[in-house]
Amino acid sequence: MEKKEVLKIIEPIFYDKTFKEVSMQELANTLKIKKSSLYYYFPSKDKLQEELISYSFEIYLDFIKKITNNNDLKNFIKEFIYYPSKSKNIFSLINQNWYCENQKLKELVSDMQNTIFVIIYEAFRTKYKLNQEKVFILLSILENISKKKCIFWNCPFDLDKIILEIDELFKN
């Protein structure tokens, strides 16, 4: 089994649990391999965490590039809100819920978050003609709603109506 396949299989586990809550044995069981075989791929749990975050980030980065290439703000809003729960991408969760305890990983995630922010910021400024303050407000709203969608799977409000309202608020 290729390392990327291993990462793809185990990523959803960390969507529902933190790295601290998951044992290497649980991961080995999920993969149907011996725990010692898991250490072949990742010499430590910290290394696994680092590689999984990097793997997940690359997928999230591709997603962000894809949705920022679209000129439809409403579509961006919808995709951004639904993506975390739809994809089980842990970077989208980490991006919203800071749960890295390792300082090296915190710095890595911070750099990754900055990369994502720059892409979104530039798209909002150029395509949607939003000023810096509106970009900040819009991203704050979207991250908050997206986080609630992750946490409360069944939002008590009609998300499609919320998406339309946000789109209306930020149209020029």
Cβ(135)–Cβ(124) below 8 Å: yes
Confidence at residue 35, expressed as pLDDT on a 0 to 100 scale = 95
CA distance 140 to 160: 18
72-90 residue pLDDT tens: 899 999 999 888 888 888 8
Q: Which residue has better confidence, 101 or 62?
A: 62
| 21, two tokens | 């809550």
In 3-state terms the chain splits into helix, strand, coil percentages (rounded to 5) of 75, 0, 25
- For the chain, domain boundaries: 46-170
| 55, two tokens | 């793997």
CB count in 10 Å sphere of residue 60:
23
CA distance 73 to 56: 24
**Residue 96 pLDDT > 60:** no
**Whether pTM exceeds 0.85:** yes
